[in-house]
Structure 1
Amino acid sequence: MRQALGIIETSGLTAALVAADTAVKAANVTLLGYELTKGRGMVTVRFTGDVGAVTAALEAAVKAASAVKGVHAFHLIPKPHEELDKYLLTPKKDAVD
């Protein structure tokens, strides 16, 4: 993957789904999936695209998810190192306590 990466961590699945839906509607990005983190009900959503699209999608997703329950963290990586591919391109994983 040589495109930008957008990451948003929300409090709860509902906010994560709202963030994911908003992101793909706001800009030309590809949803990579989500991951339930261990404990505290955090969910991480990942998407990719060109830097401008990911920036727009991330801004819209943060705003929408904040209105639902909350955003814990978010970040844009303009050009992720190729070593991250093996972690980012895996299917959805549900963490188990």
Structure 2
Amino acid sequence: MIFLRPAVGIIEAIGLTAAIQAADTAVKAADVQLLGYELSKGKGMVTVRFSGDVGAVTAALEAAVAAAREVSGVYASLVLPKPHEELDKLLYRQKKDNVD
């Protein structure tokens, strides 16, 4: 049996409100699971990560980008179709917010 690694979608929205809107839209648009979010230092960027099959992640990311742009904006977005297992350290980690 071959285990297919799930695809990962990443969106870096401008502001927490846009990130929450993007995450909500992503999970409603396709069968994806939220992996978490991270507050970036400076400029109000918030990164949201989710996973699923490639088609679902692509659809979810497209919807999330459109939704975040309606609120404030998107700095970057990316679909990783089959991330290397070494990226698990970055993608699946639980990190506390960088709030000072």
Deviation per residue, 1:16-48 (Å, 9 max, x gap): 000000000000000000000011110000000
Q: Which moved more, 1:1-10 or 1:76-85?
A: 1-10
CA deviation map 1:35-74 (0-9, x unaligned): 0001111000000000000000000000000000001100
Distance 2:6 2:37 in 1: 18
Q: What root-mean-square deviation, in Å, do the aligned CA atoms of Structure 1 and Structure 2 show?
A: 1.3
Residue 25 of structure 1: aligned partner: 28
Uncovered stretches (5+) of structure 2, i.e. residues with no partner: none
Per the normalisation by structure 2, the TM-score is 0.92
**Corresponding residue SS for 1:67:** helix
Question: Are the counterparts in 2 of residues 3 and 51 from structure 1 also a CA contact under 8 Å?
Answer: yes
Q: Distance in 1 between matches of 2:11 and 2:61?
A: 7
Unaligned 5+ runs, structure 1: none
Q: What percentage of aligned pairs have identical amino acids?
A: 73
1:50 aligns with 2:61: no
SS at match of 1:35: strand
Deviation at 1:96, TM superposition (A): 4.2
Higher Rg: 2
Does the CA contact (< 8 Å) of 1:5 and 1:54 recur in 2? yes
CA deviation after TM superposition for structure 1 residue 93, in Å:
2.9
| Matched residue SS, 2:82 | coil
TM-score by length of 1: 0.95
- Give the distance between the partners of 1:70 and 1:14, measured in 2 at CA: 10
Report the alpha carbon displacement of residue 86 of structure 1 after superposing the two structures with TM.
1.5
Aligned length: 97
